[in-house]
Chain A
């Protein structure tokens, strides 16, 4: 680092401009399209914005928008749903992903084919995944109900029944994102040192005790990091729910992104919507920086 800095200092002046030109576009894009929006959200959140004759009229309301967040019943429902959604979906994804990764790691033939097939859902548009499952879940002609009827079980309204809808949406997310956990955990498994396994085999350890006492402890950091980051990313969910339920029935599948969308755009309450967006920004920032610090401490 020191030698690099010294060398840079002795370089001609044109180098300085090239240094700025190389980093500049990324800094500009981040500044204009990620930092400036947050600043704008702060400004919006302190105002009430009304439209009159094609002009926005801002009236300063102080922190009133933030106070109102506490009394928003829809926001409470969506926060609760989002937490249930994120934790249950990611737990299932981790368990299934780990299981599949262990199984794939145990076979030689077909490993590439399995990997290609399991990767497919990550690459499909979320909205297409919504369309796919809308057909699967359909009360009248969905294959799930056709199959249940064939088994003599009463068909269910998977997306229309409040008690079932959130679970149905979780299942779709599990289908969508298990492959991602699978890929990361398989890569983590393949990176584990071979010699420990040889030692375990020499000591006569069986499959279960090898898993319990060798694989699991070695893989624990990867498992923890994957879980936390997937859980935070699960807060992004929008596309599938937009197509499947639109947040309904009632508020059964209302999630945070949907509530912001509703308040900011559908109801055209930009000031209040901005306050909600900022609250989510702070929540994610706290969770994410906590997770990143923990991951870094662990790496050390």
Chain B
């Protein structure tokens, strides 16, 4: 029995290495001088120069991109949680005809599977027409829409677990529907809000294609900044590595701090 378990752990460790090594490799590159990277030196003296130049507001837009990403990801997450939770509550606990729920959920599942490029062209024309291109509001709306199917789906799973008797009891005590939502439903689905919120934040933070089309210098986010490195004639690889490593900070922190919630979120509704 013992050697079998050893073999299993060895295989899993190898897989973990395959996952972690590329990440470690780019982190190392972020601390290398360009010359050390280009000559393939495996042993090198670490330098903070790449981070310093990426974060220096006089030579790079990165700190502004970072702030933009924080603002857009936070605002779009707040918006999509509010919209998604209200809708999940409405569909589960209010007397809407069945076809309303079916068509809304069917459409949202389809939209979730659609490559964003299919609607991105139309968004570009619409946002330009409405003056929403290159604005925070436009990007917040776009990101919230992209995340709405996932949040709606997850919140439906959590709202379903709220016992109907509890809501009925609150109503008999004279609470209005609005109060039932704010005082009973929201506190009970807090883990769901946390799970959906973390994933919505991360996916908004990571979003590239739609932001590329709807933003310019003032509103560009972190992924756009990294994408720009690939467009240069001579790529500043170590700068790109430093920018990329900084871009992963929120995801890594959230993963270490809330992995249970993330697993719950990613698998919610998947096993029905």
**What is the interface of chain A, defined by CB distance below 8 A to chain B?**
1, 4-5, 7-9, 14-15, 18-19, 21-23, 25-27, 29-30, 33-38, 40-41, 44, 100, 103-104, 106-107, 110, 112, 114-128, 130-136, 138, 140-141, 143, 146, 175, 179-180, 183-184, 187-188, 191, 222, 226, 229, 232-233, 235-236, 238-239, 242-243, 246, 256-257, 260-261, 264-265, 270, 273-274, 277-278, 280-281, 284-285, 288-289, 292, 299
Contacts and interface: CB of A to CB of B under 8 A. Distances in A.
Secondary structure of the B side of the interface? helix
Interface in B222-272: 222-223, 226-227, 229-230, 237, 240-241, 243-244, 247-248, 251-252, 254-256, 259, 262-263, 266-267, 270-272
A134 B96 CA distance: 51
Residue in A44, A106, A127, A246 whose Cβ sees the most chain B Cβ within 10 Å: A127
B240 A131 contact: yes
Contacts of A180: 266
Contacts of B227: 127, 239, 242-243
A75 to B, nearest CB: 13
Contacts of B9: 107, 110
26 contacts: A4-B93, A8-B95, A33-B142, A41-B119, A44-B122, A104-B12, A107-B8, A115-B259, A115-B263, A117-B19, A127-B244, A128-B223, A128-B247, A128-B248, A131-B226, A136-B22, A140-B40, A143-B25, A183-B263, A187-B263, A187-B270, A188-B271, A239-B227, A257-B117, A260-B121, A278-B118
B94 A19 contact: yes
Contacts of B272: 299
B206 interface: yes
Contacts of A281: 114, 118
B121 A184 contact: no
